[in-house]
């Protein structure tokens, strides 16, 4: 048997429609097997809080081995997992095709799914995961919603903490006054017919719930940069990709999202459009998670092959057709955080590669977790841990002393900015806000402030 694998990791389909998947005794046995291997390796001790929890349970137990850990305590390890995939993609030497076949994130997902099926999910958690409903309500009442969720509003945030379990200090995303779909239709985008890529590509932008309801500037920047490079775009948003439901272990809901969104995007692919997902979590779902949850679904497979992350797409244009001229330096440099769900796509550091296309711009790369983990990091029981996990990344950003800080994940960007402010203490960080890398590309082209 090999000590560790030198081959690229290979994900196995989630056999969630097999009765074996839901068998608690079989699950417990598999968790025991995997935890025993993790205990003997401990290579992931500094990735997230799951592994310290596991190792503390073992080390503080009566035997100092896994047999001293109560089976009912296994859930403590799962509850710290944010499904970032970094252990699988970057650390674990025993992932498939190794004989031991470890997939720690999907094992935690299985445990979460089994527990959700057995005990159900509470009402507040289900509502928070319904991003389409909350997004529509948020944009309709954006002024009120943003006032209520502002962390400086101690009265309303205190009530949110008591009623919804959202930490009063966690920075929450604001809602836009109109959806990105409406904004795109209102603003339009004039395609530059002199650009090298004109007539060679066209793209449909899968808006994602976050860009559609919250960060419409990311979508506007994407359209502007692509139009500058001669690429016609359309904006489509049939539904959420299901990542928030995946985090709850609701695999049936994720499968339904996959079928709904893929059926809406497939006609665009048939017309020759590339698909661009505007946030890395959604790109990861379309490209990797959906095919594992809906294996052998031809629509899902076809969509996965046609989907790009936005930074990946711009770099691809630069390599094959060449970018349109007009990029100006980003004075003061950029600290770019490589989001976990971008790294998990196995496409390379595309955000950094894209920003290095901007002339004479210093780009400092941060390859540490921001700590946010989606809604996980905003919860009362997790916020302090999210800050602790994000501090190394924040300190790297502060040390780089760059004028701009950016992350491919908008939630990670805002959390990183908040942790930078905490870590800086009385000295304010040089960046005043966090950006998506495509916004900085638009700025370099003079297309957006």
Domain boundary assignment for the chain: 19-119, 123-164, 180-320, 334-444
Least confident of 5-9, 257-261, 299-303: 5-9
CATH of 334-444 among 3.40.50, 2.50.20, 3.30.420, 3.30.310 = 3.40.50
User: What letters, b where the CB count within 10 A reaches 16 and e where it falls short, cover 118-149?
Assistant: eeebeeebeebbebbebbbebbeebeebbebb
Confidence tier at 100 by pLDDT (50, 70, 90) = very high
5, pLDDT greater than 80 = no
Of the pLDDT bands very low, low, confident and very high (cuts 50, 70, 90), residue 388 is very high
pLDDT higher than 90, residue 6: no
Least confident stretch, 27-36, 55-64, 244-253, 418-427:
418-427
Mean pLDDT of 365-380: 90
Quote the crossing angle between the two packed helices 24-41 and 50-59, to the nearest 10°: 90
Measured distance CA(257)–CA(80) in Å, rounded: 25
- Of 22-26, 43-47, 77-81, which gets the smallest average pLDDT? 43-47
Using an 8 Å Cβ cutoff, are 195 and 223 in contact? no
Range 437-445 average pLDDT: 98
> Whose CA is closest to 326, among 234, 230, 232?
230
Q: Which residues pair with 336 in a beta bridge?
A: 365, 406
Distances (CA, A) of 283 to 25, 177, 291, 304, 393: 34, 25, 12, 9, 23
Is pLDDT at 3 greater than 70 in this prediction?
A: no
For residue 1, the model assigns a pLDDT of: 54
In which element (H, E) is residue 377 found?
A: none
How many Å apart are CA 254 and CA 251, to the nearest integer?
Answer: 5
**Which stretch of 213-217, 401-405, 425-429, 431-435 has the lowest confidence by average pLDDT?**
425-429
Nearest to 415 by CA among 381, 380, 383, 367: 383
Residue range 93-119: mean pLDDT, rounded? 94
Question: What is the rounded average pLDDT for all residues in the chain?
Answer: 94
């Amino acid at each position: 048997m090999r000590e560790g694998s030198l081959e690229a990791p290979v994900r196995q389909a989630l056999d969630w429609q097999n009765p074996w998947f839901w068998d608690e005794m079989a699950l417990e046995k598999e968790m025991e097997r995997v935890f025993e291997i993790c205990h003997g390796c401990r290579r992931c001790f500094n990735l997230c809080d799951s592994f310290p929890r596991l190792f503390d349970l073992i080390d503080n137990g009566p035997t100092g081995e896994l047999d001293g850990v109560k089976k009912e305590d296994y859930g403590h390890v799962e509850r710290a997992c944010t499904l970032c995939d970094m252990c699988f993609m970057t650390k674990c030497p025993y992932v498939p095709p190794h004989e031991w076949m470890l997939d720690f994130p999907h094992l935690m997902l299985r445990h979460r799914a089994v527990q959700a099926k057995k005990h159900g999910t509470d009402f507040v958690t289900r509502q928070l995961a319904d991003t389409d409903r909350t997004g529509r309500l948020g944009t309709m009442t954006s002024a009120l919603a943003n006032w209520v969720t502002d962390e400086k509003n101690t009265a309303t945030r205190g009530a949110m903490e008591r009623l919804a379990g959202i930490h009063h200090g966690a920075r929450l995303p604001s809602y836009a006054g109109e959806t990105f779909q409406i904004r795109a239709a209102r603003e339009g985008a004039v395609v530059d017919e002199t650009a090298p890529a004109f007539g060679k590509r066209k793209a449909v932008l899968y808006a994602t719930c976050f860009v559609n309801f919250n960060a419409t500037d990311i979508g506007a920047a994407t359209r502007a940069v692509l139009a500058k490079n001669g690429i016609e775009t359309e904006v489509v948003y049939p539904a959420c990709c299901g990542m928030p439901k995946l985090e709850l272990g609701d695999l049936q809901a994720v499968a339904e999202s996959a079928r709904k969104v893929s059926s809406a995007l497939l006609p665009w692919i048939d017309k020759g459009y590339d698909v661009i997902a505007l946030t890395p979590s959604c790109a990861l779902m379309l490209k990797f998670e959906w095919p594992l949850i809906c294996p052998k679904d031809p629509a899902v497979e076809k969509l996965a092959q046609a989907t790009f992350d936005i930074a990946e797409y711009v770099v691809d244009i630069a390599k094959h057709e060449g970018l349109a001229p007009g990029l100006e330096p980003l004075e003061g440099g950029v600290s770019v955080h490589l989001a976990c769900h971008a790294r998990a796509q196995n496409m390379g550091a595309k955000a950094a590669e894209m920003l290095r296309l901007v002339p004479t711009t210093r780009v400092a790369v941060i390859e540490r977790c921001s700590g946010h983990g989606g809604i996980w990091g905003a919860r009362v029981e997790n916020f302090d841990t999210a800050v602790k996990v994000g501090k190394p990344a924040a300190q790297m950003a502060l040390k780089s002393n760059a004028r701009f800080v950016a992350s491919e994940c908008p939630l990670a960007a805002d959390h990183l900015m908040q942790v930078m402010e905490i870590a800086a203490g009385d000295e304010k960080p040089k960046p005043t806000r966090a950006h998506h890398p495509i916004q900085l590309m638009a700025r370099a082209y003079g297309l957006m402030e």
